[in-house]
Structure 1
Amino acid sequence: MARVVVTGGSGKLGRAVVADLLAHDWEVHNLDLVPSPLCPHTRVDLTDYGQVVEALTGIDDRYHGVDAVVHLAAIPAPGLTANAATFANNVPSTYNVFAAARLAGIRNVVWASSETVLGLPFETPPPYVPVDEEYAGRPESTYSLGKLLDETMAAQFCRWDPRLKIVGLRLSNVMEPADYAGFPAFDADARARCWNLWSYIDARDGAQAVRRALAYDRPGFEVFIIANADTVMSRPNAELLAEVYPDVPHRREFGPHETLLSIDKARRLLGYEPRHSWRQETGSGS
């Protein structure tokens, strides 16, 4: 049984990740400021490098040695605290996790980047749709700037150690089934959810992506957009784009409700395939 530590395992995505990894025979330890009943928990301040080194090498009678790290802990969105406080928490924490993993000889690291790196909230329209990983990051907030710096650090850590694998998941807006009752109301205003091209990620499918990224066996740095296969809207993409982004080029054909945050790369390299949809949960059909 492989051992993985999950930072932020008590959060919205973290709970789903912990449950999914436990269901797939991982030994899971949660590093978070808030306890979770699903697995052993240790309170760790990730901005303190010494604590992170200890957490990734061994903590007394909890465990000794770690096979993999899933780093989810962060202030999870812009505006929840002051910009400088968001940066001072998120970027040093990610550096500490990457550096401590390298020191501990852990070569399997997956962490939560963000869809915001793509240019959200798309007040400046995207260069094309569906958007993908091929264009340079366009951070529009301090939170997003931090995520882009995380990606830059990951690439350099992998350059320093060619045996290291770090996978960044550009996760869309995380949702749980309880959130889906509010989705039909989105149709009334196309602009209310255009900030991420009407996308979302079911926490359970986000957890699947994390597990598949852990299983991905190519060393080096990779980044993947992770969204659900559909949009949050009942209205078709053609209608939404004509109203909100009429001048944005279409790079390929896409379905009427297909996600406009392309998951083609994750499908191709990770074998990722979303299994959940708000339409199934609410009985709204396709």
Structure 2
Amino acid sequence: MKRVLVTGAAGRIGRAVLDLLDRQGIAANALVLDDPGDLKADLVVEGTATDPQAVRRALEGADAVVHLAAIPTPERHPAEVVFATNTQATYTVLEQAGRAGIRQVCTASSTAISGLPFAARTLHPPYVPVDEEQPSQSADPYALSKQVDELTAQTMARRYGMSVVALRLPYVGGFDERLLDFAERCERDPGLHAAGLWAYLETRDAARACLLGLNPDGFHVITVAAPETLVSHPTEELLRRFHPTTELRRSLPGRTVPLNLTKATAVLGFSAELHV
């Protein structure tokens, strides 16, 4: 890679990706809604990822794309806006990348694709560890948008012969008030993160996974997370308490996260290095 376009570059993960590219000596372009003026990018384009013209400008000279631009929750915008924005952005970015001859893309999906985190009622995974083949129980626009985004990524991989990795990211935060405060609250009340299966990923690890996602050939959906949960309570005890109907398909000793991280290791060579 000589130059990478990062969409949503002013966000938490986007900034971390730019920092990592800078440390590795790889040039970066950034697509943002508003330029904050401090991004580590040679080219900063203001615009939305749903706008083909803005995306084409942002792709100038790039040979790879990390697509992070999205509305990250269904809770602060109308449902139709969340779904339409996220799916149109992913289609537009990958379509324009394909037309530009780019063949390596990593796009952000989410473990919320399960349907659990934003469900109107309590849901339980049918089995753990949750893998990429587990059917979604989505009933919210964000989870639905991520399902469509993964289908879009697979379609674009076929359409343009691109290699695309869709990373299913859990709760992401740095060792700052966001992650540590959330960890403390979950420690006091593990039910706060039961729908997210107590999974998390430190921001710098998320950035590293994004760049590793630019290496594999073909199309892949891959779950990434820290190998242990955000809380000190034993995982199997938490599952019995909060997900009593869930099938335990293998032992999850100690704080083992109830997500299957096999593909992250096998396909990306990724394992999280920064742990709470």
Report the TM range for the smaller structure's normalisation: over 0.9
Question: Which consecutive unaligned segments of at least 5 residues does structure 1 have?
Answer: 59-64, 279-286
Aligned-residue RMSD, C-alpha: 1.5
Tell me the equivalent position of 1:282: none
In 1, distance between residues paired with 2:192 and 2:229? Answer: 13
Match of 2:239 among 238, 241, 244: 241
Q: What one-letter code is carried by the residue in structure 2 that aligns with 1:7?
A: T
Question: Which consecutive unaligned segments of at least 5 residues does structure 2 have?
Answer: none
Tell me the equivalent position of 2:84: 88
Q: TM-score, with normalisation over the residues of structure 2? A: 0.92
In 1, distance between residues paired with 2:205 and 2:196? Answer: 18
> Which SS does the other structure have where 2:76 is aligned?
coil
The answer to whether residue 58 in structure 2 is matched with residue 55 in structure 1 is yes
In 2, distance between residues paired with 1:251 and 1:98? Answer: 36
In 1, distance between residues paired with 2:115 and 2:248? Answer: 17
> Which SS does the other structure have where 2:127 is aligned?
coil
Q: What one-letter code is carried by the residue in structure 1 that aligns with 2:101?
A: G
Question: Among the aligned pairs, what percent are the same residue?
Answer: 36
Q: TM-score, with normalisation over the residues of structure 1? A: 0.89
> Which SS does the other structure have where 1:185 is aligned?
helix
1:44·1:55 contact (CA, 8 Å) conserved in 2? no
Q: What one-letter code is carried by the residue in structure 2 that aligns with 1:27?
A: A
Deviations 1:109-155 (A, max 9, x none): 11101111123227221011110112233323101111110111111
Deviations 1:172-227 (A, max 9, x none): 111111134322332232311101101111111101101111122x1x21111111
In 2, distance between residues paired with 1:174 and 1:49? Answer: 29
The answer to whether residue 15 in structure 2 is matched with residue 15 in structure 1 is yes
In 2, distance between residues paired with 1:141 and 1:14? Answer: 25
In 1, distance between residues paired with 2:73 and 2:90? Answer: 15
Q: What one-letter code is carried by the residue in structure 1 that aligns with 2:2?
A: A
Q: Give the alignment of 1:135-284 within 5 angstroms.
A: 135-161=134-160, 163-178=161-176, 179-182=178-181, 183-216=183-216, 218=217, 220-278=218-276
Cα offset for 1:25? 2.2
In 2, distance between residues paired with 1:165 and 1:224? Answer: 13
Q: What one-letter code is carried by the residue in structure 1 that aligns with 2:222?
A: F
Deviations 1:57-114 (A, max 9, x none): x2xxxxxx21101100111112121111112221111110011011101011111011
In 1, distance between residues paired with 2:54 and 2:180? Answer: 41
> Which SS does the other structure have where 1:6 is aligned?
strand
The answer to whether residue 109 in structure 2 is matched with residue 107 in structure 1 is no
Deviations 1:227-260 (A, max 9, x none): 1111111111121111111221111122211111
